Amino acid sequence: MISFYCLDFREKAVGGAVVSPTLYDEHFRELPVEVQFALRDFGQLTFLVHGFDNSRAEGREKMRFFAKQLREVQKLPGDHVLVAVLWPGDTFVGGALWGLLGKAGYAAQEGDADTTADALTQCIRTVLRPRVPMHFVAHSLGCRVTLETMRRLDLVQLRTGERLETGNVLLMAGAVDADALARRSRYRAAVEGARRIAVLHSREDDAVNAWFKVGDVLAGIFDGWWWEREALGAVGPKPAGGDEVPRNVDARELRYEHSDYLPTYPGLQVGPTQQDVERWAVQVVSGAVAPLA
Protein backbone atom coordinates (compact mmCIF):
# COMPACT_ATOMS: atom_id res chain seq x y z
CA MET A 1 0.00 0.00 0.00
CA ILE A 2 1.23 3.51 -0.89
CA SER A 3 0.20 6.37 1.39
CA PHE A 4 0.41 10.13 0.80
CA TYR A 5 0.73 12.94 3.34
CA CYS A 6 1.66 16.62 3.38
CA LEU A 7 4.04 18.21 5.87
CA ASP A 8 3.21 21.92 5.74
CA PHE A 9 5.96 24.21 7.07
CA ARG A 10 4.19 27.39 5.90
CA GLU A 11 2.98 30.19 8.12
CA LYS A 12 0.81 31.70 5.37
CA ALA A 13 -0.81 30.70 2.11
CA VAL A 14 1.54 33.08 0.23
CA GLY A 15 4.92 34.11 1.59
CA GLY A 16 5.41 34.14 5.33
CA ALA A 17 7.87 32.37 7.59
CA VAL A 18 8.86 28.73 8.11
CA VAL A 19 7.01 27.28 11.10
CA SER A 20 6.63 23.94 12.88
CA PRO A 21 4.90 21.54 10.49
CA THR A 22 1.25 20.63 10.26
CA LEU A 23 0.47 17.16 8.92
CA TYR A 24 -2.37 16.54 6.46
CA ASP A 25 -3.63 13.34 4.87
CA GLU A 26 -4.29 13.09 1.14
CA HIS A 27 -7.70 14.72 1.63
CA PHE A 28 -6.01 17.59 3.54
CA ARG A 29 -7.52 16.72 6.85
CA GLU A 30 -5.23 17.80 9.68
CA LEU A 31 -3.64 14.99 11.67
CA PRO A 32 -1.57 14.98 14.87
CA VAL A 33 2.02 14.65 13.66
CA GLU A 34 3.35 12.76 16.66
CA VAL A 35 0.54 10.22 16.84
CA GLN A 36 0.51 9.56 13.11
CA PHE A 37 4.22 9.05 12.54
CA ALA A 38 5.97 8.15 15.80
CA LEU A 39 4.86 4.50 15.78
CA ARG A 40 4.85 3.93 12.00
CA ASP A 41 7.13 1.33 10.42
CA PHE A 42 8.00 2.72 7.01
CA GLY A 43 8.52 0.30 4.16
CA GLN A 44 9.90 3.07 1.95
CA LEU A 45 9.83 6.81 2.74
CA THR A 46 10.02 9.41 -0.04
CA PHE A 47 9.84 13.19 0.30
CA LEU A 48 8.46 15.23 -2.61
CA VAL A 49 9.74 18.83 -2.51
CA HIS A 50 8.37 21.60 -4.75
CA GLY A 51 10.41 24.59 -5.87
CA PHE A 52 10.44 28.36 -5.92
CA ASP A 53 7.33 30.51 -6.46
CA ASN A 54 4.69 28.00 -5.38
CA SER A 55 1.91 29.13 -3.06
CA ARG A 56 0.56 26.69 -0.49
CA ALA A 57 -2.33 25.77 -2.78
CA GLU A 58 -0.12 25.30 -5.84
CA GLY A 59 2.50 23.25 -4.04
CA ARG A 60 -0.13 21.12 -2.34
CA GLU A 61 -2.14 20.35 -5.48
CA LYS A 62 0.87 19.74 -7.71
CA MET A 63 2.49 17.38 -5.21
CA ARG A 64 -0.74 15.50 -4.55
CA PHE A 65 -1.35 15.02 -8.27
CA PHE A 66 2.28 14.08 -8.86
CA ALA A 67 2.05 11.45 -6.10
CA LYS A 68 -1.17 10.12 -7.62
CA GLN A 69 0.55 9.74 -10.97
CA LEU A 70 3.45 7.87 -9.37
CA ARG A 71 1.06 5.53 -7.58
CA GLU A 72 -1.70 4.93 -10.10
CA VAL A 73 -0.15 5.50 -13.53
CA GLN A 74 3.53 4.61 -13.10
CA LYS A 75 2.75 1.92 -10.51
CA LEU A 76 5.42 2.79 -7.96
CA PRO A 77 6.26 -0.59 -6.40
CA GLY A 78 6.58 -1.44 -2.74
CA ASP A 79 5.14 -0.16 0.52
CA HIS A 80 5.83 3.55 0.08
CA VAL A 81 4.91 6.53 2.19
CA LEU A 82 5.06 9.66 0.02
CA VAL A 83 5.36 12.93 1.96
CA ALA A 84 5.00 16.29 0.22
CA VAL A 85 7.04 19.08 1.82
CA LEU A 86 5.23 22.42 1.56
CA TRP A 87 7.51 25.38 2.27
CA PRO A 88 7.35 29.18 1.73
CA GLY A 89 9.45 29.40 -1.41
CA ASP A 90 7.46 32.36 -2.67
CA THR A 91 7.16 36.04 -1.88
CA PHE A 92 4.27 38.44 -2.31
CA VAL A 93 5.80 41.39 -4.16
CA GLY A 94 4.00 44.20 -5.94
CA GLY A 95 3.79 44.07 -9.72
CA ALA A 96 6.30 46.82 -10.59
CA LEU A 97 9.00 45.53 -8.25
CA TRP A 98 8.41 41.94 -9.30
CA GLY A 99 8.74 42.98 -12.93
CA LEU A 100 12.08 44.61 -12.11
CA LEU A 101 13.48 41.64 -10.19
CA GLY A 102 12.02 38.92 -12.39
CA LYS A 103 12.62 35.32 -11.42
CA ALA A 104 16.02 36.27 -10.00
CA GLY A 105 14.01 36.96 -6.84
CA TYR A 106 14.54 33.30 -5.97
CA ALA A 107 17.82 34.43 -4.32
CA ALA A 108 15.81 36.01 -1.52
CA GLN A 109 14.24 32.61 -0.80
CA GLU A 110 17.44 30.66 -0.23
CA GLY A 111 17.23 31.53 3.47
CA ASP A 112 13.73 30.01 3.65
CA ALA A 113 15.03 26.91 1.87
CA ASP A 114 17.74 26.50 4.51
CA THR A 115 15.34 27.19 7.38
CA THR A 116 12.96 24.59 5.95
CA ALA A 117 15.86 22.11 5.87
CA ASP A 118 16.47 22.83 9.56
CA ALA A 119 12.81 22.22 10.38
CA LEU A 120 12.55 19.10 8.22
CA THR A 121 15.70 17.64 9.78
CA GLN A 122 14.29 18.25 13.24
CA CYS A 123 10.98 16.63 12.26
CA ILE A 124 12.80 13.60 10.85
CA ARG A 125 14.89 13.21 14.01
CA THR A 126 12.19 13.75 16.63
CA VAL A 127 8.94 12.70 14.96
CA LEU A 128 9.41 10.49 11.92
CA ARG A 129 12.42 8.57 13.23
CA PRO A 130 12.64 6.32 10.15
CA ARG A 131 14.62 3.11 10.30
CA VAL A 132 14.93 2.98 6.52
CA PRO A 133 16.91 5.20 4.12
CA MET A 134 14.96 8.28 2.99
CA HIS A 135 14.43 9.06 -0.69
CA PHE A 136 13.87 12.54 -2.16
CA VAL A 137 12.34 13.88 -5.37
CA ALA A 138 12.83 17.65 -5.71
CA HIS A 139 12.35 20.44 -8.24
CA SER A 140 14.06 23.82 -8.68
CA LEU A 141 14.89 25.52 -5.36
CA GLY A 142 13.40 22.49 -3.63
CA CYS A 143 16.69 20.81 -4.61
CA ARG A 144 18.41 23.17 -2.17
CA VAL A 145 15.92 22.19 0.56
CA THR A 146 16.74 18.55 -0.18
CA LEU A 147 20.52 18.91 -0.32
CA GLU A 148 20.61 21.06 2.83
CA THR A 149 18.48 18.45 4.62
CA MET A 150 20.81 15.70 3.45
CA ARG A 151 23.82 17.68 4.68
CA ARG A 152 22.26 18.21 8.11
CA LEU A 153 21.28 14.55 8.41
CA ASP A 154 24.81 13.53 7.46
CA LEU A 155 26.31 15.81 10.11
CA VAL A 156 23.89 14.53 12.76
CA GLN A 157 24.74 10.93 11.90
CA LEU A 158 28.47 11.64 12.14
CA ARG A 159 28.09 13.49 15.44
CA THR A 160 25.61 11.26 17.24
CA GLY A 161 25.59 7.94 15.41
CA GLU A 162 21.86 8.20 14.71
CA ARG A 163 20.75 6.15 11.72
CA LEU A 164 19.61 8.87 9.30
CA GLU A 165 20.49 7.50 5.89
CA THR A 166 19.72 9.00 2.49
CA GLY A 167 18.64 6.54 -0.17
CA ASN A 168 17.91 7.57 -3.77
CA VAL A 169 17.53 11.19 -4.84
CA LEU A 170 16.13 12.78 -8.02
CA LEU A 171 17.07 16.45 -8.52
CA MET A 172 15.11 18.19 -11.30
CA ALA A 173 16.01 21.63 -12.67
CA GLY A 174 18.12 22.27 -9.59
CA ALA A 175 18.51 25.94 -8.63
CA VAL A 176 21.86 25.29 -6.94
CA ASP A 177 25.43 25.73 -8.15
CA ALA A 178 26.48 23.20 -10.76
CA ASP A 179 29.58 22.25 -8.76
CA ALA A 180 27.77 21.99 -5.40
CA LEU A 181 27.53 18.18 -5.50
CA ALA A 182 31.31 17.87 -5.87
CA ARG A 183 32.38 20.79 -3.65
CA ARG A 184 33.64 19.68 -0.25
CA SER A 185 32.41 22.88 1.40
CA ARG A 186 28.86 22.20 0.16
CA TYR A 187 27.25 18.83 -0.36
CA ARG A 188 29.94 16.34 -1.37
CA ALA A 189 29.95 14.36 1.89
CA ALA A 190 26.16 14.08 1.96
CA VAL A 191 26.07 13.13 -1.73
CA GLU A 192 28.66 10.39 -1.25
CA GLY A 193 26.63 9.05 1.67
CA ALA A 194 23.52 8.58 -0.47
CA ARG A 195 22.82 5.48 -2.51
CA ARG A 196 22.29 7.37 -5.76
CA ILE A 197 21.81 10.94 -6.99
CA ALA A 198 20.10 11.39 -10.37
CA VAL A 199 20.05 14.83 -12.03
CA LEU A 200 17.71 16.07 -14.77
CA HIS A 201 18.88 19.30 -16.42
CA SER A 202 18.26 21.44 -19.50
CA ARG A 203 20.07 24.36 -21.14
CA GLU A 204 16.72 25.50 -22.53
CA ASP A 205 15.36 26.17 -19.03
CA ASP A 206 15.50 29.96 -18.69
CA ALA A 207 14.70 29.92 -14.97
CA VAL A 208 17.90 28.05 -14.09
CA ASN A 209 19.97 29.25 -17.01
CA ALA A 210 19.60 32.99 -17.61
CA TRP A 211 17.83 34.00 -14.40
CA PHE A 212 19.93 31.79 -12.14
CA LYS A 213 23.07 33.67 -13.17
CA VAL A 214 21.54 36.97 -12.04
CA GLY A 215 20.07 35.58 -8.84
CA ASP A 216 23.21 33.64 -7.96
CA VAL A 217 25.32 36.79 -8.12
CA LEU A 218 22.90 38.46 -5.69
CA ALA A 219 22.94 35.42 -3.41
CA GLY A 220 26.74 35.27 -3.62
CA ILE A 221 27.01 38.86 -2.46
CA PHE A 222 24.72 38.15 0.49
CA ASP A 223 26.51 34.88 1.35
CA GLY A 224 30.10 36.08 1.13
CA TRP A 225 30.98 36.76 -2.50
CA TRP A 226 30.88 33.21 -3.83
CA TRP A 227 28.92 32.35 -6.90
CA GLU A 228 29.18 29.66 -9.53
CA ARG A 229 26.98 31.37 -12.18
CA GLU A 230 25.94 28.05 -13.72
CA ALA A 231 23.05 26.06 -12.34
CA LEU A 232 22.91 22.33 -11.75
CA GLY A 233 19.53 22.35 -13.48
CA ALA A 234 21.01 23.95 -16.60
CA VAL A 235 24.40 22.29 -17.20
CA GLY A 236 24.28 19.31 -14.87
CA PRO A 237 26.86 18.34 -12.23
CA LYS A 238 30.35 19.82 -12.62
CA PRO A 239 33.68 19.13 -10.90
CA ALA A 240 34.77 21.52 -8.14
CA GLY A 241 38.41 22.48 -8.49
CA GLY A 242 40.34 19.21 -8.47
CA ASP A 243 37.41 17.19 -7.14
CA GLU A 244 35.45 15.14 -9.63
CA VAL A 245 31.69 14.60 -9.37
CA PRO A 246 31.03 11.65 -7.00
CA ARG A 247 30.56 8.32 -8.75
CA ASN A 248 27.06 7.77 -7.42
CA VAL A 249 25.80 10.78 -9.41
CA ASP A 250 24.40 10.38 -12.91
CA ALA A 251 22.65 12.92 -15.10
CA ARG A 252 20.49 13.26 -18.16
CA GLU A 253 20.34 16.38 -20.33
CA LEU A 254 16.88 17.30 -21.61
CA ARG A 255 15.30 20.00 -23.76
CA TYR A 256 12.82 21.16 -21.11
CA GLU A 257 11.51 24.45 -19.85
CA HIS A 258 11.20 24.91 -16.09
CA SER A 259 7.50 24.05 -16.02
CA ASP A 260 7.90 20.83 -18.02
CA TYR A 261 8.87 18.66 -15.05
CA LEU A 262 5.80 18.68 -12.79
CA PRO A 263 2.05 18.86 -13.48
CA THR A 264 0.92 22.29 -14.61
CA TYR A 265 -1.14 24.44 -12.25
CA PRO A 266 -3.99 25.30 -12.30
CA GLY A 267 -5.63 22.53 -14.27
CA LEU A 268 -3.14 19.81 -13.28
CA GLN A 269 -2.41 18.68 -16.81
CA VAL A 270 0.20 16.05 -17.65
CA GLY A 271 1.94 15.99 -21.01
CA PRO A 272 4.69 13.81 -22.49
CA THR A 273 7.49 15.55 -20.57
CA GLN A 274 5.74 15.12 -17.24
CA GLN A 275 5.06 11.47 -18.01
CA ASP A 276 8.76 10.91 -18.70
CA VAL A 277 9.66 12.62 -15.42
CA GLU A 278 7.21 10.42 -13.54
CA ARG A 279 8.80 7.34 -15.09
CA TRP A 280 12.29 8.51 -14.11
CA ALA A 281 11.10 9.33 -10.59
CA VAL A 282 9.76 5.80 -10.11
CA GLN A 283 12.95 4.36 -11.59
CA VAL A 284 15.15 6.35 -9.17
CA VAL A 285 13.04 5.92 -6.04
CA SER A 286 12.55 2.20 -6.60
CA GLY A 287 16.31 1.73 -6.79
CA ALA A 288 16.98 0.92 -10.45
CA VAL A 289 20.75 0.64 -10.91
CA ALA A 290 20.97 1.63 -14.57
CA PRO A 291 21.54 5.29 -15.53
CA LEU A 292 18.51 7.34 -16.52
CA ALA A 293 17.19 6.09 -19.84
Which of these, 1, 77, 8, lies nearest to 48 by C-alpha position? 8
- pTM of the complete model: 0.90
pLDDT in tens, 212-242: 665 555 555 545 444 557 899 999 999 998 8
Over residues 14-31, mean pLDDT: 89
Q: Is the pLDDT of residue 124 over 50?
A: yes
pLDDT value, residue 77 = 85
* 149 Cβ neighbours under 8 A, 6+ residues apart: 117, 120, 121, 124, 136
pLDDT for res 52 = 87
pLDDT: which is higher, 105 or 181 = 181
Q: What is the pLDDT, as a whole number, of residue 213?
A: 62
Q: Identify the bridge partners of residue 250 per DSSP, sorted by sequence position.
A: 198
Mean pLDDT for the chain overall: 85
Residue 191 identity (one-letter amino acid): V
User: Is residue 94 predicted with pLDDT exceeding 50?
Assistant: no
pLDDT digits (tens, 9 = 90+) for 242-277: 899 999 999 999 999 999 999 988 888 899 999 999
pLDDT band at 110 (very low <50, low <70, confident <90, very high): confident
Domain definitions of the chain by residue range? 3-285
Q: Is the pLDDT of residue 64 over 70?
A: yes
Q: How far apart are CA 3 and CA 1, in angstroms?
A: 7
To the nearest whole percent, how much of the chain has pLDDT over 70? 82
- Residue 49 has, within 13 A of its CA and on its CB side, a CA count of 35
Res. 98 pLDDT band, cuts 50 70 90 = very low
pLDDT digits (tens, 9 = 90+) for 155-214: 998 888 888 899 999 999 999 999 999 999 999 999 999 999 999 999 999 888 876 665
Q: Which CATH superfamily is domain 3-285 in?
A: Alpha/Beta hydrolase fold, catalytic domain (3.40.50.1820)
Does 168 or 292 have the greater pLDDT score?
A: 168
Strand partners, 31: 23
pLDDT of residue 100 exceeding 50: no
Statement: residue 96 has pLDDT above 70 = no
Residue 46 pLDDT = 95
Q: Edge to edge, what strands does the sheet with 249-254 contain?
A: 30-31, 18-25, 3-10, 80-86, 44-49, 134-139, 166-172, 196-202, 249-254
Can you give the pLDDT at residue 225? 46
Q: What pLDDT, on a 0 to 100 scale, did the predictor assign at position 129?
A: 85
* Confidence (pLDDT) at 34: 64
Taking CA atoms, 112 is separated from 5, 9, 177, 226, in Å, by: 21, 10, 17, 19
**CA nearest neighbour of 258 among 203, 213, 206:** 206
Question: Over the stretch 128-158, which tens digit does the pLDDT of each residue have?
Answer: 888 889 999 999 999 999 999 999 999 998 8
- Quote the pLDDT of residue 53: 86
Q: Judge if the upstream peptide bond of residue 266 is cis by omega within 30 degrees of 0.
A: yes
